């Protein structure tokens, strides 16, 4: 570790900012920055900014890009019509610098890059890969993480994040790089004709595609919508799409500034209630019907609804249930609901959206967490025509309505949810009214996620210890409820009544799921993008209060098990 630190300190071509940081590290910081390599996992690379191999900086970006070159060369050798890499980035510190560093690194290997000159959303990056017939894509973003983070996500030629058998190729290539400091990007690489700027024509094509997904363009749009991008890439694209579609948009002016410090928001994460505080203030000032929030790279959307004079935040699961109800009821009414329609969501998504879909005769297929698995299924069915895609979504506020993008798309989601709100308003209902009707029809659920944040090398070891402990001593009860079945996605096994059988249709993932005897379930998984161990609860009750009280018992029980 110390040898590595000294090598970085003495390296002649490090940028001045990194050199300065290296000189002021404490012994503990040296251990954190040089005691490991920043992990390139199944969701790409995400981590703290800073010097050293265990942080995101120009050196680790070069290293990751060289690893990605292996995939690009492979694709270009088998599909010659696919050429180059599309690159986009969000508002974070060093995002633009990382984007152009990746482009210059690709130029070393003779690979063309198509780079945006200013920030764009993750879904637009996915769209650009497909539109320009690229062999792959790079998105510089840390999604909804705090300001100290950035990330490097890689995409295949379909515009989908790399799935495990492809990402393994990249991870192996990165692992074979013995000395990241030996990757030198010379000045002329930044000036290479292989680095091409993407013009605004792609923006117009993308926005038109989004506006074309409207199911009821004729609906009365007499509702007021407050929008915040929490300083990220959702502005200006979301307001532009909504305004061109006829909606009245009130921007949270001090939060639509592209600011890497997230100065005017308490959180850039739509999963956290504090992210909406300023938007709710603006909503009250303007008597708005609906508040929409996109995360920094605009792939996730959060929703607050004015209901009976109060502003109510919907969870990702609740929003998914309402979206499914609106989409399927509308498609059915207009005789557009096709046979063998399918909705994709994940193994940690609530049961309520599935029940809504099945009410309309629509199948729900489960995937592992990570929208790449949904994108993979979309691609497969696009070839076989066996099933017709309607919606893909994750409980973590990610939705995709039309697959001209192959990742979560908050721009699409904002448009369809605005349309749903406008339509139900003509029937004197809010989206909360619709949600309440769904719970009466299908049952009461309390769905939530609780995260245990454990930072640094010690925290990572603790998370691994939690998962190992749960496997070493299988749970028989959680709170007052009996575990009637468990699934281990790492060993791909399912255990019921003492009998273990194979769990098919999935790749290995570090997830445990427990099914309880009243129809509830609990799942546990380490986050692939944050230093967290996540606990997911889908709690079924006789009524809402009963479900909430049962959740408290289950949470307390799980907390005592992993403490």
Q: Are residues 418 and 392 in the same domain?
A: yes
Residues annotated as catalytic are: 143
Q: Are residues 546 and 556 in the same domain?
A: yes
The Cα-based distances of 537 to 334, 450, 483, 534, 553 in angstroms read 36, 8, 14, 10, 11
Q: Extract the tokens encoding 457.
A: 């090398």
Please provide the average confidence, as pLDDT, over all residues in the chain. Answer: 95
Q: Are residues 266 and 151 in the same domain?
A: no
As a whole number, mean pLDDT of residues 239-251 equals: 98
In a domain, residue 213? The reply is: no
Q: Are residues 241 and 184 in the same domain?
A: no
Q: Are residues 49 and 188 in the same domain?
A: yes
What pLDDT shows up at residue 528? 75
In a domain, residue 212? The reply is: no
In a domain, residue 206? The reply is: no
pLDDT digits (tens, 9 = 90+) for 498-547: 899 999 999 999 999 999 999 999 999 998 777 899 999 999 999 989 99
Beta-bridge partners for 233: none
The residue out of 199, 214, 242 marking a domain boundary is: 199
Q: Over the range 264-280, which residues count as b (16 or more CB within 10 Å of their CB) and which as e?
A: bbebbbbbeeebbebbb
What pLDDT shows up at residue 2? 76
Question: Which is more confidently placed, 11 or 360?
Answer: 360
What pLDDT shows up at residue 442? 95
Q: Are residues 229 and 111 in the same domain?
A: no
Q: Are residues 478 and 413 in the same domain?
A: no
Q: Are residues 306 and 430 in the same domain?
A: yes
Q: Are residues 190 and 337 in the same domain?
A: no
CATH of the domain at 407: 3.40.120.10
Q: Extract the tokens encoding 122.
A: 């993750």
Token pair 């930044």: residue: 190
What pLDDT shows up at residue 39? 87
Q: Are residues 293 and 313 in the same domain?
A: yes
Q: How buried is 47 (Cβ within 10 angstroms: 0-12 exposed, 13-18 middle, 19+ buried)?
A: buried
pLDDT digits (tens, 9 = 90+) for 266-300: 999 999 999 999 999 999 999 999 999 999 999 99
**Closest residue by Cα to residue 299 from 90, 100, 497, 461:** 90
Q: How confident is the model at residue 41 (pLDDT cuts 50, 70, 90)?
A: confident
Q: Are residues 61 and 182 in the same domain?
A: yes
What pLDDT shows up at residue 477? 96
69: pLDDT strictly greater than 90: yes
Q: Extract the tokens encoding 126.
A: 């996915």
Look up the domain containing 474 and give its range.
444-562
Q: Are residues 169 and 186 in the same domain?
A: yes
Q: How many domains would you assign to the chain?
A: 3
The residue out of 410, 442, 474 marking a domain boundary is: 442
In a domain, residue 110? The reply is: yes
């Amino acid at each position: 570790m110390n040898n590595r630190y000294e090598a970085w300190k003495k390296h002649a071509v490090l940028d001045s900012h990194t050199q300065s940081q290296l000189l002021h590290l404490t012994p503990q910081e040296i251990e954190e920055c040089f005691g490991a390599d920043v992990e390139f996992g199944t969701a790409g690379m995400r981590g703290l900014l800073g010097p050293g191999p265990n942080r995101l900086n120009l050196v680790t970006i070069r290293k990751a890009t060289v690893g990605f070159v292996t995939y690009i060369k492979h694709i270009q050798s088998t599909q010659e019509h696919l050429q180059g890499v599309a690159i986009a980035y969000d508002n974070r510190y060093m995002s633009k610098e990382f984007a152009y560093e990746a482009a210059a690194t690709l130029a070393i290997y003779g690979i063309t890059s198509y780079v945006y000159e200013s920030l764009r959303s993750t879904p637009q990056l996915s769209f650009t890969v497909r539109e320009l017939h690229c062999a792959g894509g790079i998105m510089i973003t840390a999604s909804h993480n705090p300001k100290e983070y950035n990330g490097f996500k890689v995409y295949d030629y379909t515009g989908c994040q790399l799935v495990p058998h492809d990402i393994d190729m990249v991870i192996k290539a990165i692992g074979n790089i013995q000395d990241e400091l030996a990757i030198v990007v010379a000045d002329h690489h930044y000036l290479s004709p292989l680095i091409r700027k993407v013009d605004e024509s792609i923006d117009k094509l993308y926005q038109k595609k989004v506006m074309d997904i409207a199911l009821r363009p004729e609906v009365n749009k007499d509702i007021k919508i407050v929008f915040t991008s929490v300083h990220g890439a959702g502005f200006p694209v979301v307001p532009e799409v909504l305004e061109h579609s006829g909606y009245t948009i009130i921007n949270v002016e001090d939060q639509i500034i592209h600011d890497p410090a997230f100065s005017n928001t308490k959180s850039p994460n739509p999963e956290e209630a504090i992210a909406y505080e300023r938007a709710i203030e603006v909503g009250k000032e303007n008597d708005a019907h609906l508040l929409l929030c996109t995360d920094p790279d605009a792939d996730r959307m959060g929703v607050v609804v004015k209901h009976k004079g109060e502003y109510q935040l919907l969870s990702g699961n609740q929003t998914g249930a309402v979206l499914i109800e609106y989409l399927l009821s509308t498609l059915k009414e207009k005789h557009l609901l096709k046979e063998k329609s399918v909705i994709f969501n994940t193994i940690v998504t609530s049961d309520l959206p599935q029940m809504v879909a099945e009410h309309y005769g629509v199948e729900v297929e489960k995937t592992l967490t990570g929208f790449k698995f949904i994108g993979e299924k979309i691609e497969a069915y696009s070839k076989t025509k066996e099933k017709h895609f309607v919606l893909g979504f994750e409980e973590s506020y990610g939705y995709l309505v039309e697959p001209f993008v192959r990742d979560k798309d908050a721009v699409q989601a904002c448009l369809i949810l605005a349309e749903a709100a406008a339509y139900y308003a003509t029937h004197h209902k809010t989206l909360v009214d619709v949600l309440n009707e769904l719970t009466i029809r299908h049952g009461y659920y309390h769905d939530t996620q609780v995260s245990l944040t454990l930072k640094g090398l010690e925290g990572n070891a603790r998370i691994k210890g939690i998962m190992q402990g749960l496997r070493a001593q299988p749970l028989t009860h959680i709170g007052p409820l009996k575990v009637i079945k468990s699934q281990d996605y790492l060993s791909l096994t399912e255990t019921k009544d003492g009998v273990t059988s194979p769990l098919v249709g999935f790749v290995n993932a570090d997830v445990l799921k427990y099914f309880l005897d009243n129809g509830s379930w609990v799942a546990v998984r380490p986050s692939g993008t944050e230093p967290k161990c996540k606990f997911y609860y889908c709690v079924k009750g006789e009524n809402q209060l009963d479900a909430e009280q049962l959740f408290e018992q289950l949470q307390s029980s799980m907390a005592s098990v992993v403490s």
